[in-house]
Amino acid sequence: MLRILLIRKIGSKQNFAPLSFFFATKELSKVLQLLNYPITQLQIPPDYFRNRDLLQPQSKMAGRIVFLRTYCKPWTAAVAACLATLVLAALILPHSFRLTALSDVIQCLLLFSGTVSLIPHAVRSRGRLRLFWTLIATGIALWFSYQLFWTYHEVWLRTDVPDLCAADIILFLHIVPLMAALALRPHAPQDEYAARLRRLDFALMMVWWAYLYVLIVIPWQYIVANVPAYANNLNSLYLIEKLAFLGAVFLAWMGSKDGWKIFYASLFGASLIYAASSYVANWALSRHAYYSGSLYDIPLAVSMAWITVIGLWTREREPQAGVPSTSTSHGVWLARLGMIAAFSLPLFAAWALLDTVLPPPIRSFRLVLTLAAAILMGVMVFVRQRLLDRELLRLLTHSRESLANLKRLQAQITESEKLASIGQLVGGVTHELNNPIAAMLGYSDLLLTTPLNPEQYELAGKIGQHVRRTKSLVASLLSFARQGPAAMAPVDLKTLLRTAVKLSQPQWQALKIEVRTDFSQEPLLVRGDSNQLLQVCVQIINDALHAVNQLSSRTLTIAAESKDGIAFIDISDTSLAGGGSAENTEKEEDQTLSGLGLSACQGILRQHHGRILWQQHRNMGTNIRVEIPVIPPALEKEKSTESGVPVMWQPQPFS
């Protein structure tokens, strides 16, 4: 009877070092408490744990995992003892039932040990790594189930396994989840779409492998029973599958690094030993020199034991997110192989039709099977194309948005360069203006010291007041151009608004517009630069006056109040602006307010943690709102004795 051996494959899992560190820290805390060491609690670095769930109490399975990890060395020693027992039995015991039973039982124990050693990885890991280890454990579990079937026949029933064995499909299919695990590439980062698309490509390949087994092997087992043809086709197809798996492991080994490289090297060694043991066992079987428990089974047992070693001592983690994959060709070749598998179906159908040696039932079976596989794989190709089209549309939209953002950034950079140039120009101009302003201020102060009549004295005082205001505005302009920090101090917004209304009085009187004020009784104290905030108030009032004049309105209302720690300044036109349905739009920034000074106002308000809002109705006027945080009541006592308004133009209250 032909006994066929098999390959196995291992994957990788997260490091269990954080869990060990956690329990070691608890034990160290107990020791320090016994020594009366003055500590409150040992601190674990917050970024030490990649998996935050390690700090949380988990199920009983987690406790069993800790138990398994604690006894890695004894476990490894037990596996080595089983392997040594098998070697001694092969050397000492003759060909007998005892040797067969001992060999089959030890091989079952080794495969069971390998399966159990992989379970902690699948339980403790997440996402792609969990699927990876689940597939690995599934492949080894299938191997273990086949070995149990073999042991049941040879030990319990004391008979040979049938030549046409239905369990041989388990032997062939156990490599399928192992190859699927390799396709996940846990050593290489990848995004969600790439993982989903590659899984679909590999599912296409797995369907193709199952199709090959049913196409080539099953007909000689169930359609027309033929033991030599069945064994020959099974051996040939299984050899191709083993070589494909070895090639995939080798490519993963060459494309990985650090701990993953060691892992794949161990996996490749175990798989190569198994493949060699299969060839040697088949060679011995053809010469009637093989029997269960002989020395030909030793390489097979070594590969089984190696699985446990890999499962127990693997400590590799999942790659860090955001790191680009170094192998972009992997997905391309996987997609190409999937397409080749789909296009190979017509070739197999032609082979079934042209092979005149085949019995007619087998030919009909293969044609029907190929048609069904073509429909199934065609559906999978259609789904893959849909996913690809969706991803391409997403990438196209993202590219357009990126291009628009790039153009917007270029425009902002150009505007910033212009503003920087204007700032340099303004800095030079203001420096030149300071000299005549200083002379004018000096002459105005000197004029006030001379004997003047009351009318002349009032005019000289106004000249000095306006010169001082001009000097302060030039200083504010220079400060804005240099982007220097503002001198923050408590400021009363109501006083600033009254001053701004007084300064803009020539404008609204010339336009014949009525300005109304509605201020709260309590002071509106904010922390800021009085010169800059006065500039903001004057600029906004002037813009509002021009807007009201364009709407043929004659009334402008200026209100100020405080609510929820925010000072609100509302400048609104309460008259009707025309007919039409009411439509309310609310926007930020200055889309209806224009002027070069408004950009400076917005920059000043951002420095004061404030903002400008506007609200417009079609059949109502325009409302401009300025919001600035007020000083908390607890800090009002720290207000300076100064009013917060420059003394050179201290106004009288406006009503």
Pairing outcome for strands 622-629 and 514-519: unpaired
pTM: 0.53
DSSP secondary structure letters along 201-228: HHHHHHHHHHHHHHHHTTIIIIIS--HH
Query: CA-to-CA distance for 534 and 315, rounded, in angstroms?
Result: 66
Q: Assess whether pLDDT exceeds 50 at residue 262.
A: yes
DSSP state of 491: E
Other beta carbons less than 10 A from residue 90's beta carbon:
18
Better-predicted residue by pLDDT, 643 or 312: 312
pLDDT at residue 365, rounded to an integer: 92
Q: CA 314, 320, 321, 326: dihedral to nearest 10 degrees?
A: -90
pLDDT band at 531 (very low <50, low <70, confident <90, very high): confident
| Phi, then psi, of 273 in degrees rounded to 5 | -65, -40
Query: CA-to-CA distance for 419 and 512, rounded, in angstroms?
Result: 36
Q: Is there a contact between 229 and 358 (Cβ–Cβ < 8 Å)?
A: no
Query: CA-to-CA distance for 182 and 204, rounded, in angstroms?
Result: 15
Q: Assess whether pLDDT exceeds 80 at residue 336.
A: no
pLDDT band at 83 (very low <50, low <70, confident <90, very high): very high
440 token code pair: 């004018």
Reported as a single tens digit per residue, the pLDDT across 571-588 is 887 654 433 333 344 443
Reported as a single tens digit per residue, the pLDDT across 496-509 is 888 888 878 877 88
Nearest to 525 by CA among 612, 608, 624, 600: 608
Reported as a single tens digit per residue, the pLDDT across 154-189 is 899 888 888 888 888 888 888 888 888 887 778 776
Q: Assess whether pLDDT exceeds 60 at residue 92.
A: yes
Query: CA-to-CA distance for 258 and 250, rounded, in angstroms?
Result: 15
pLDDT band at 51 (very low <50, low <70, confident <90, very high): very low
Q: Is there a contact between 199 and 207 (Cβ–Cβ < 8 Å)?
A: no
pLDDT band at 334 (very low <50, low <70, confident <90, very high): low
Coil, strand or helix: which one is 423?
helix
Rounded to whole angstroms, what are the CA distances from 343 to 215, 217, 329, 336? 16, 21, 21, 11
Q: Is there a contact between 525 and 631 (Cβ–Cβ < 8 Å)?
A: yes
CATH 3.30.70.260 fits 486-649, yes or no: no
Other beta carbons less than 10 A from residue 455's beta carbon:
8
Reported as a single tens digit per residue, the pLDDT across 364-411 is 999 999 999 989 888 888 887 888 788 888 889 989 999 988 888 888
Q: Is there a contact between 278 and 4 (Cβ–Cβ < 8 Å)?
A: yes
**Amino acid letter for position 78:** A
Mean pLDDT along residues 135-163? 90
pLDDT at residue 530, rounded to an integer: 79
Better-predicted residue by pLDDT, 331 or 202: 202
Better-predicted residue by pLDDT, 428 or 212: 212
Nearest to 133 by CA among 324, 316, 335: 316
Q: Assess whether pLDDT exceeds 80 at residue 463.
A: yes
% of the chain residues with pLDDT over 90: 12
Mean pLDDT along residues 593-601? 58
Other beta carbons less than 10 A from residue 446's beta carbon:
10
pLDDT band at 34 (very low <50, low <70, confident <90, very high): very low
Pairing outcome for strands 514-519 and 611-616: unpaired
Residue intervals in the chain for CATH 3.30.565.10: 486-649
Nearest to 477 by CA among 593, 596, 599, 600: 600
Mean pLDDT along residues 443-470? 81
Query: CA-to-CA distance for 567 and 365, rounded, in angstroms?
Result: 85
pLDDT at residue 483, rounded to an integer: 52
CATH of 17-315, one of 1.10.101, 1.10.3470, 3.30.70, 1.20.1070: 1.20.1070
646 token code pair: 């420059």
Q: CA 487, 489, 495, 500: dihedral to nearest 10 degrees?
A: 10
Q: Assess whether pLDDT exceeds 50 at residue 9.
A: no
pLDDT at residue 480, rounded to an integer: 58
Q: Which residue has the tokens 């190859």?
A: 179
Q: Assess whether pLDDT exceeds 50 at residue 131.
A: yes
Better-predicted residue by pLDDT, 620 or 382: 382
pLDDT at residue 616, rounded to an integer: 61
Q: Which residue has the tokens 């005019």?
A: 459
pLDDT at residue 146, rounded to an integer: 93
Residue intervals in the chain for CATH 1.20.1070: 17-315
Name, of 42-46, 74-78, 576-580, the range with top average pLDDT: 74-78
Name, of 1-5, 65-69, 323-327, the range with top average pLDDT: 65-69
Q: Is there a contact between 265 and 236 (Cβ–Cβ < 8 Å)?
A: no
Mean pLDDT along residues 34-46? 43
Q: What average pLDDT is seen over the chain? A: 75
Of 131-145, 221-235, 565-579, 590-604, the one with minimum mean pLDDT is 590-604
503 token code pair: 């300064």
pLDDT band at 485 (very low <50, low <70, confident <90, very high): low
Q: Assess whether pLDDT exceeds 80 at residue 519.
A: yes
Mean pLDDT along residues 109-123? 90
Query: CA-to-CA distance for 180 and 119, rounded, in angstroms?
Result: 17
% of the chain residues with pLDDT over 70: 73
